[in-house]
Amino acid sequence: AQSVTQLDSQVPVFEEAPVELRCNYSSSVSVYLFWYVQYPNQGLQLLLKYLSGSTLVKGINGFEAEFNKSQTSFHLRKPSVHISDTAEYFCAVSEYNNDMRFGAGTRLTVKP
Q: Least Å distance between CB 15 and another protein? A: 26
Q: What is the dihedral of CA 46, 50, 53, 55, to 10 degrees?
A: 110
Please identify, among the stretches 13-21, 65-73, 78-86, 96-104, the one whose residues bind another protein according to the rule CB under 8 A: 96-104
| Cα→Cα distances 32→24, 44, 72, 95, Å | 13, 17, 12, 6
One residue of 35, 65, 105, 110 binding another protein per CB under 8 A:
105
41 near another protein, judged by CB under 8 A: yes
Cα(101)–Cα(25) distance, integer angstroms: 10
Binding mask 47-66 for another protein (x = CB under 8 A): --x-x---------------
Residue 2, Cβ neighbours under 10 Å: how many? 19
Summarize as ranges the residues that interact with another protein (CB under 8 A). 4, 32, 41-46, 49, 51, 90, 92, 94, 97-105
